[in-house]
């Protein structure tokens, strides 16, 4: 099997199984040694609470593993791969840099003549772990090997990261029939232009929403006529991804009750709400009673709080 094919297979395995279990981590180390042909290799996760590494799988002796877990990150040389965010080999070091604890404790006693450390980072920039590998043969870790290790590093990092990667909002988009199902949506650029991302996209909804620049990521409930549309927004570069789908009215409220609730949240009196909705103040009072009962709110202030949590907006 070629090293490139092994790298592709490893990335696929990591995306399916991760590497935090002992069995998966052992498979990962075996697969990595097809890509990085060395005598010893270890994958370690960083424990930020304990401020130490925890080796997930290794082919090093126990004393070397203890060094990598408890001491390697204190060695000044460790700052090189940590700072560069790329694999650093013994051959990348100057003669004056080839000394210190890692040489005294691991490299020189074992007679290693080549080696590499690759620090692993989550997509949000957090340091999550490392790969260490050493060989007793010089020149084992050529540029092609280093590039392949760099290639699989993002997947390794994601696999050992204890924080699950969030699913992107766009993963829920309808695809025009290729995969079937999904939400509708569009991309709103910073200049106000829109680009449909699905067959049923409704860029016209922008006019009914508050300025998207002032919205935090999350779901807004937009009442349009008798329909309730859940609108999800998330920043994407300089623009905003907007997904929308029709949903049942929250709390079993009718469209009219949602209209009244939105106006209650704005602080209007029953008389003013009646004027806005074209109904009597007594009818408004009845709607408010229904709203309190259905939402479980004890008073208008609690009902207004519920409207705020729903991010309730009534379209024109």
pLDDT of 64 reads: 92
- Sheet containing 52-58, strands listed edge to edge, beginning at the edge strand earlier in sequence: 52-58, 40-47, 127-135, 114-121, 88-89
Give the distance, in angstroms, between the CA of residue 135 and the centroid of all CA atoms in the same chain: 35
Alpha helix segments (H runs only) across 165-299: 255-265, 270-277, 281-295
CA–CA distance, 299 with 75 (Å, rounded to integer): 62
Q: Assess whether pLDDT exceeds 70 at residue 166.
A: no
Both tokens assigned to 284: 């408004």
Mean pLDDT of 107-115: 91
Mean pLDDT of 234-246: 85
- Is residue 166 in some structural domain? no
pLDDT band at 284 (very low <50, low <70, confident <90, very high): very high
Mean pLDDT of 93-106: 90
pLDDT band at 181 (very low <50, low <70, confident <90, very high): low
Q: Assess whether pLDDT exceeds 70 at residue 220.
A: yes
- Same domain, yes or no: 24 and 136: yes
pLDDT of 179 reads: 46
Question: What residue numbers bound the domain in which 301 lies?
Answer: 250-316
Domains identified in the chain, total number = 3
- Is residue 58 in some structural domain? yes
pLDDT of 1 reads: 52
Q: Which CATH number do you get for residue 281?
A: 1.10.10.10
pLDDT of 160 reads: 83
Q: What is this structure's pTM?
A: 0.60
Mean pLDDT over the full length of the chain: 85
Q: Which of 247, 276, 305 is the last residue of a domain?
A: 247
- Same domain, yes or no: 156 and 205: no
Q: Assess whether pLDDT exceeds 60 at residue 176.
A: no
- Same domain, yes or no: 258 and 240: no
Q: Assess whether pLDDT exceeds 80 at residue 24.
A: no
């Amino acid at each position: 099997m070629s090293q490139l094919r092994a790298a592709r297979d490893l990335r696929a395995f990591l995306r399916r199984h991760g590497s935090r279990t002992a069995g998966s981590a052992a498979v990962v180390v075996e697969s990595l040694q097809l890509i990085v042909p060395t005598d010893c290799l270890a994958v370690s996760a960083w424990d930020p609470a304990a401020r130490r590494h925890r080796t997930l799988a290794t082919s090093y002796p126990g004393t070397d593993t203890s060094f990598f877990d408890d001491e390697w990150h204190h060695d000044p040389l460790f700052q090189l791969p940590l700072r560069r965010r790329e694999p650093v080999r013994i051959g990348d070091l100057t003669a004056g840099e080839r000394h210190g604890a890692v040489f005294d404790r691991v490299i020189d006693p074992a007679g290693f003549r080549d080696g590499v450390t690759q620090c692993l980072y989550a997509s949000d920039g957090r340091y999550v772990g490392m790969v260490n590998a050493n060989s007793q043969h010089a020149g084992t870790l050529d540029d092609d090997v280093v590039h392949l290790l760099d290639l699989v590093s993002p997947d390794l990092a994601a696999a050992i990261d204890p924080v699950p990667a969030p699913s992107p909002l766009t993963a829920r988009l309808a695809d025009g029939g290729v995969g079937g199902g999904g939400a509708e949506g569009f991309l709103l650029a910073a200049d106000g232009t829109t680009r449909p991302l699905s067959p049923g996209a409704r860029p016209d909804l922008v006019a009914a929403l508050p300025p998207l620049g002032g919205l935090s990521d999350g779901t807004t409930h937009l009442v349009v006529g008798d329909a309730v549309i859940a609108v999800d927004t998330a920043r994407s570069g300089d623009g905003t991804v907007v997904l929308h789908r029709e949903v049942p009215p929250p709390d079993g409220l009718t469209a009219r009750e949602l209209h009244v609730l939105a106006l209650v949240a704005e602080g209007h009196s029953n008389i003013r709400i009646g004027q806005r909705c074209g109904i009597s103040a007594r009818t408004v009072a009845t709607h408010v009673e229904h709203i309190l009962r259905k939402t479980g709110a004890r008073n208008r202030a609690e009902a207004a709080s519920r409207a705020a949590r729903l991010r309730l907006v009534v379209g024109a």
